Structure 1
Amino acid sequence: MNAKFALIALFAITPIAHALDIQRWHTPQGSEVLFVERHDLPMVDYSVIFKGAGSTADPDGKSNIAAATAQLLTSGTAELDEEQFNAKINDLAASMDGDNSFEFSNLSFRSLSEPSVLNATADLFNQALTRPRFEETALQRVKDQAILLLKQNESYPSYIASRALTRLNYPNHPYGKSAYQTVEKIQAIGRQDLLDFHQKNYTQNQAIIAIVGDLTRPQAEQLIVRTLANVPTHVNPDTSAPPVTVKGGQRENIPFPHSSQTTIAIGLPVMTAQDPDYFAMIVGNYILGGGGFDSRLMKELRDKRGYTYGASSSLAAYAQAAPFTITFSTEHKNSAAALAATQAVLAEFVKNGPTEAELKQAKAHITGGFPLRFDSNGKLLANLMAVGVHKRPSDWFDTYNDKINALTVDDIKRAWQRKIQPQQMNVVVTGGK
């Protein structure tokens, strides 16, 4: 998953957002556009998101096709090899990169807004998007990097626990595909796989375009035409993930004799991006385990009992049910007691909700902390991407704080009782012999 996008998508937005004028429209080819003018710096940040082109679209039996496709878009084109392409980007003092998450892939650039520079950057962007080189040597490099990363990750109990929990949560769902990657599946990727994936999934019909910077709307419209010229417009029917069938109450114990500690992960698919309980759930998560040293889990497991250096909870939101997760590490001898204490904290929170003091502190942090995440074009671009991908209304930024501040203790308690059944959490214990 794109970590920056997922993090920004969950945080609140302060009243500074009232100054935002999100211009929103659809192109004749079906792409949605979200555009914010910012003329304080002569810069343009630009991203095209292709819905349904994330890792969930990897075909069975192969891994990392979506990731390799996105990454290699900027590794040369039909006209330019990788070195030549990068040299041109550098000469323009621009940057360009491809990325992917569970549910989408995207290609982005940052450029000066001076027309000759911006147009040249846009032309290179179009080459990368429509005529990627996908050289065998570059593909093998990406595969080698992915294999090395997988082997390194498999030496960490935290990764083993997270992977196992994902398999329990999504055993037969596209959201679980990343947890089933192997060296053999990565090595099985060929150049034709990338060409086929690119042709099927990189279409204007399912694109979202986010733009922030020193442009007017007519200039933004011209930029879109320039960057998306010759991008296919066929309809891809496989852009939506199916609903998640939730199966809870599972437990898996994984020996990991080389680790000095036991890593525990508990969780379950819980919330979609469109869930009416979205705000109550994210505020509750901050109080339970997302708020660092202020959270209940840290106070109970670290401060009171000394079981761990750190315990945290996280809550994601996708088109279909995304995971709620609690993770921590502890000494082997404390693993059973620490797990029981964690389950007790969760059960008590679901039963009684937060205190008024906890809710007040959470509101102050969430509504007050956002300016640090909203102070550049790049950060604003990520927020626009989240609005587009999750089909948020254009006043999402303006109303966010009001919705946070309107929450009561009972609102959070009711939402958590609807979404979380503590006894149904899946549990993975990794460590020991």
Structure 2
Amino acid sequence: MNPMRCLIGCVLLLAVQLAAAGPKIERWQTPSGARVLFVESHSLPILDVQVDFAAGTAREADGKAGSAALTHALLDLGVPGMDETQIASRLADLGAKLSGGVDMDRASVALRTLSMADKRGPALDLLRQILGQPLFPNDAFERERARTVAALKEALTRPDAIASKTFWAAIYGAHPYARQATPESVSALERSDVIDFHASNYNAQRATIAIVGDLSRAEAEALAADLSLAMPAGKPAEALAEPALPSGGERRIAHPAAQAHLLLGLPTIRRGDPEFFPLLVGNYSLGGGGFVSRLMKEVRDKRGLAYSVQSYFHPLGQLGPFQIGMQTKKEQADEALRVTREVLATFLSQGPSEAELLAAKQNLIGSFPLRLDSNRKILENVALIGFYDLPLDYLDRYQENIERVTVERVRAAFSRVLRPGQMVTVVVGGE
């Protein structure tokens, strides 16, 4: 046996054994059809609840780009008997906080509240109304639509936003993941479009409820049942089609900015792909590990072509993107692209060195407990596991799965999903 590999295995096995295991996750389904994941924790008198709906931008109807984000923005701006000011005051009085967001796959609404019955009861009542009975007041709709249009117009002046929009459109083509709001598409939306989007997508069959905090299992079951009963039963979301891979090529867009923005990538993996861990470990060495990554050393340290360069995999319900991104002086854009492609080609053929592999594993394993050091972080991980139907021991085996990665597995995984001939390049800057 290779002595270096033996040493690597012993060191990492010890690290895995010493590291804390993931939280105990319980799973069930409400009578209304919502999936529920629960982590009981009495260390703080806090309750965190997150409801994820299959209501991301990929679920927007043709010609209605922007309706997912606008619907989400209006949820807490009016319910029966309360306007947005009263809702905000009520939350403040209870010491509760709402948050959330929208991406391609899901729309999320999260509530943090004190766990005492006199606080959590009213806070959860308000959450039920926000999810199941939003009024979408016309004045709030007009205001938020105008605000969104203004933000989109402003973004069209920024090279980073232009590059991102062009990149997503290029790698996903006609797939729903390519759908992006424009000033024109949002201006054309009517209040009825928001009402229709909510009715079609915010239902119990499309909901995943994650609960973390100071609650018993029986209390969590009652909470989840009440929340799901506040929603229409609805229908489960249909699976999205797998996106076709792009044909490669470059898109260059002129911009007066001094810096050129460069993006390279293509769709690669979905959530739950068994090769996620080799790709995660390998990408740390390629471009995800900051100053220790190859891209940073070759592009920044040796040649001074960029202040920062990074790469990442972003798995989704369907094939999510791999992306390399950087900014450089516009007269250096071609050289930066050449060096980046050379580094990627070498990595695809050779994979990481044993030393790079060890450094990547040590960092990913050593930093893992920081991903679970608060109820909020636990909630985010549990919500992801629930929405994407990952194994309940996903967090328990996370470090073990990293420790098992080898150079050969990294090289095989990268060769399977990264096809240089089909990678799209976007350059925004210069003439």
Same fold (TM over 0.5): yes
Structure 1 residue corresponding to 2:42, chosen from 39, 42, 64: 39
User: Which AA in structure 2 matches 1:398?
Assistant: D
SS at 1:418's partner residue? helix
Residue 19 to residue 283, structure 1, CA distance change in 2 (3 Å): closer
For 2:290 and 2:338, locate their aligned partners in 1 and report how far apart those are by CA, in whole Å. 20
User: Is the deviation greater in 54-63 or in 214-223?
Assistant: 54-63
Q: Does 1:153 align with 2:155?
A: yes
User: Which AA in structure 2 matches 1:248?
Assistant: S
For 1:172 and 1:146, locate their aligned partners in 2 and report how far apart those are by CA, in whole Å. 24
Shift of 1:225: 2.6
Question: Aligned residue for 1:188?
Answer: 188
Q: Does 1:362 align with 2:393?
A: no
Shift of 1:66: 1.0
Shift of 1:404: 0.2
Question: Aligned residue for 1:382?
Answer: 380
User: Which AA in structure 1 matches 2:172?
Assistant: Y
Count residues in correspondence: 416
Shift of 1:229: 2.8
Structure 1 residue corresponding to 2:30, chosen from 27, 30, 33: 27
Residue 14 to residue 108, structure 1, CA distance change in 2 (3 Å): farther
For 1:155 and 1:63, locate their aligned partners in 2 and report how far apart those are by CA, in whole Å. 20
SS at 2:79's partner residue? coil
Shift of 1:85: 1.4
Q: Deviation string for 1:244-271 (max 9, x for gaps)?
A: 1112322111111x21122111111111
Shift of 1:233: 0.8
Question: Aligned residue for 1:130?
Answer: 132
8 Å contact from structure 1 (residues 280, 407) kept in 2:
yes
Question: Aligned residue for 1:227?
Answer: 227
For 1:198 and 1:14, locate their aligned partners in 2 and report how far apart those are by CA, in whole Å. 46
For 1:48 and 1:17, locate their aligned partners in 2 and report how far apart those are by CA, in whole Å. 27
Shift of 1:422: 2.0
For 1:159 and 1:84, locate their aligned partners in 2 and report how far apart those are by CA, in whole Å. 35
8 Å contact from structure 1 (residues 14, 367) kept in 2:
no
8 Å contact from structure 1 (residues 71, 98) kept in 2:
no
Question: Aligned residue for 1:213?
Answer: 213
Shift of 1:234: 2.2
Shift of 1:65: 1.0
Shift of 1:161: 1.4
User: Which AA in structure 1 matches 2:26?
Assistant: Q
> Pairwise mapping of residues 262-411 of structure 1 onto structure 2 (< 5 A)?
262-411=260-409
SS at 1:29's partner residue? coil
For 2:392 and 2:48, locate their aligned partners in 1 and report how far apart those are by CA, in whole Å. 19
Q: Does 1:50 align with 2:53?
A: yes
Shift of 1:16: 5.2
User: Which AA in structure 2 matches 1:24?
Assistant: R
Residue 19 to residue 427, structure 1, CA distance change in 2 (3 Å): closer
Question: Aligned residue for 2:91?
Answer: 89
Residue 98 to residue 406, structure 1, CA distance change in 2 (3 Å): closer
User: Which AA in structure 1 matches 2:89?
Assistant: A
For 1:39 and 1:246, locate their aligned partners in 2 and report how far apart those are by CA, in whole Å. 47
Shift of 1:14: 9.3
For 1:22 and 1:15, locate their aligned partners in 2 and report how far apart those are by CA, in whole Å. 21
Residue 239 to residue 138, structure 1, CA distance change in 2 (3 Å): farther
For 2:117 and 2:18, locate their aligned partners in 1 and report how far apart those are by CA, in whole Å. 33
8 Å contact from structure 2 (residues 245, 422) kept in 1:
no
For 1:211 and 1:95, locate their aligned partners in 2 and report how far apart those are by CA, in whole Å. 15
For 1:328 and 1:90, locate their aligned partners in 2 and report how far apart those are by CA, in whole Å. 41
User: Is the deviation greater in 143-152 or in 163-172?
Assistant: 143-152
Shift of 1:63: 2.2
- Identity, % of aligned positions: 38
User: Is the deviation greater in 145-154 or in 14-23?
Assistant: 14-23
User: Is the deviation greater in 371-380 or in 403-412?
Assistant: 371-380
Q: Does 1:203 align with 2:189?
A: no
Q: Deviation string for 1:114-134 (max 9, x for gaps)?
A: 112111111111111111121
8 Å contact from structure 2 (residues 58, 176) kept in 1:
yes
Cα RMSD between the aligned structures?
Answer: 1.5
Question: Aligned residue for 1:4?
Answer: none
SS at 1:398's partner residue? coil
Question: Aligned residue for 2:239?
Answer: 240
> Pairwise mapping of residues 253-268 of structure 1 onto structure 2 (< 5 A)?
253-256=252-255, 258-268=256-266
User: Which AA in structure 2 matches 1:252?
Assistant: R
SS at 1:186's partner residue? helix
For 1:369 and 1:402, locate their aligned partners in 2 and report how far apart those are by CA, in whole Å. 14
Shift of 1:332: 2.1
In structure 1, runs of 5+ residues without a counterpart are 1-12
For 1:332 and 1:105, locate their aligned partners in 2 and report how far apart those are by CA, in whole Å. 37
8 Å contact from structure 1 (residues 14, 401) kept in 2:
no
User: Which AA in structure 1 matches 2:51?
Assistant: V
Question: Aligned residue for 1:3?
Answer: none
For 2:409 and 2:230, locate their aligned partners in 1 and report how far apart those are by CA, in whole Å. 50
